[in-house]
A = this chain, B = another copy of it.
C-alpha cells in the first residue's frame, strides 16, 4: 500500500474507531435482543452456501453479509484495497495480511453500510438480495489457514489446580511459572471449526499399578475451555515483538476447546510435553471477533508478583472481560452449564505471550494461532476442564437426566460460548465452539 493511502486509512481508523463501537448505532438488519452479533461487533468468518465456493463474510444479527459480492458490487472501492480478491479466498489470511489499518477501515466501512440511517445498501434491494443470507442457511468453515499453533498455560488457577492434583499443594506451580508465560507448540492440522464431530481417540495408556501399557480408546476424554488469538501481522526470523507493539499483530479472537485425553497425556507427556493426548482435535468458533470490537471491554490483569523481567512488563489494560460458559449436551437429555469462567482471570496477557514467544527471534506468520491455556477462575464452578471440575473424577457432576459425568461420554456434545457485556455498551458475542464426541473408530 502506498504511504499516502496508508496515511489516509490511518486517519479513517482513528476517526471511526469509536464510532463503529458506538452503542447507539442501529442497523437496518434486524438484530434480536441479546444477539451475539449486533452492528458493534461485525466478526469475520468464512462461509459457503448451496455448495458454492467458500468466501469471507461478516455476521450481523441472524444474517451473514457476503464480503466477496459486496466487493464485486463496488462497495469497498473507496478503500482502494491493494488486493481486491481477498474476500473471495477460502481463508482470511490474505485479507489479514493487508494489515491493521485495512482491518479497521473495512470494519468501519461495513458498519457504515449497515447503519439504519445509511440508504446505500439499505435501499438497494437488488444488492441486498445478493449479499445477505440467514445464518442458518450457510455452512461455516475454518476461517484461517493456521500456520503454527501455540498453546499457553496462562491461568494461575488452572496451573495451581493441576499442579496440586499431581504434585501436591506445596509444589503446585512449577518454579518457572511466575516468571514466564509457559507455552508449547500444538498441532495445527487438527484444528477444526465448530460443528465438526470428534472421534474419541485411541492410544497408549498405562495404569499406575500396571507393568505394561495397553492400547485402547481414551477413558478420560476432557475439554479445555480456552480462547485463542489469531496473528494478522507477521515478523521476520530474528525479530522480537515488544509488549507495546504486540497488539498490532493480533487480528482477533475465537473460542477454543482444546480437547484432551487425560490418560494418554499422562503416560506420554514426560519429558517433552503433551502430544497425542491433544493432537486428535481442537475446536474453534467460526467467527473471529476483532480486537477493535473488544476495545470497550479492556480490564486490568491480575497483579504479577514477583515482578517480571523488563521484556515482559507492560503498560495499560491488556486483559479483556469476556464471560465464558461450557455446556454439556447429552444426546437424549437436557443440557447443563458445567462451567462459568472469564478470560479476565488470565495471569499472563496476550501482549506478554507474544513478547515471550518472539524474544528468541522466533518468527510469526499471518494465520498463526495462540491459545490461552485452560481458563479457570477461583470458584469451583469456574474451572475450565472436567479434570478440575470433578477433581480427577472424585466429584462427579450430576446431569439433569440423573446421569453423572466424570469426563465426557460418547455422544455428548460440548459447547463453549463467550460474550462481553457491560453497562452502556452493546453485547459483543463470540457465538459458540461446539463438538460432538463420536465413539472410537
Contact = CB atoms under 8 A, between A and B. Distances in A.
A148 interface: yes
Interface string A144-181: 00011000010000000000000000000011100110
Contact of A185 (B180, B261, B275): B275
A363 interface: yes
Given A180-B268, A268-B176, A362 B309 contact: no
Contacts of A237: 189-190, 192, 196, 280-281
A311 interface: yes
Given A215-B311, A238-B199, A306-B212, A364 B268 contact: no
Contacts of A147: 188-189
Interface stretch (A16-24, A116-124, A353-361): A353-361
A305 to B, nearest CB: 13
A280 B361 contact: yes
Nearest to A240: B202
A202 B360 contact: yes
B363 A190 contact: yes
B187 A360 contact: no
B189 A187 contact: no
B204 A148 contact: no
Nearest to A151: B272
Interface residues of A, number: 63
Contact of A204 (B179, B183, B274): B179
A134 interface: no
Contact of A361 (B199, B306, B311): B199
A199 B215 CA distance: 43
Contacts of A212: 179, 306
B272 A183 contact: yes
Nearest to A214: B309
Nearest to A153: B272
Contacts of A425: none
Interface in A255-304: 261, 264, 267-277, 279-281
Contacts of A187: 148, 185, 362
A377 interface: no
Nearest to A280: B360
B192 A180 contact: no
Nearest to A281: B237
A319 to B, nearest CB: 22
B189 A362 contact: yes
- How many of these chains are in the complex? 2
A148 B278 CA distance: 14
Contacts of A276: 356-357, 359-360, 362
A310 interface: yes
Given A180-B268, A188-B147, A237-B190, A279 B362 contact: yes
Given A192-B237, A276-B356, A268 B182 contact: yes
A185 B275 CA distance: 7
A210 to B, nearest CB: 11
B360 A185 contact: no
Contacts of A188: 147-148, 188
A192 B201 CA distance: 33
A396 interface: no
Contacts of A213: 176, 179-180, 309
20 contacts: A174-B270, A176-B213, A176-B270, A179-B206, A179-B212, A180-B213, A183-B275, A185-B186, A185-B279, A189-B363, A189-B365, A190-B237, A190-B363, A199-B361, A204-B309, A215-B311, A264-B360, A269-B271, A276-B357, A276-B360
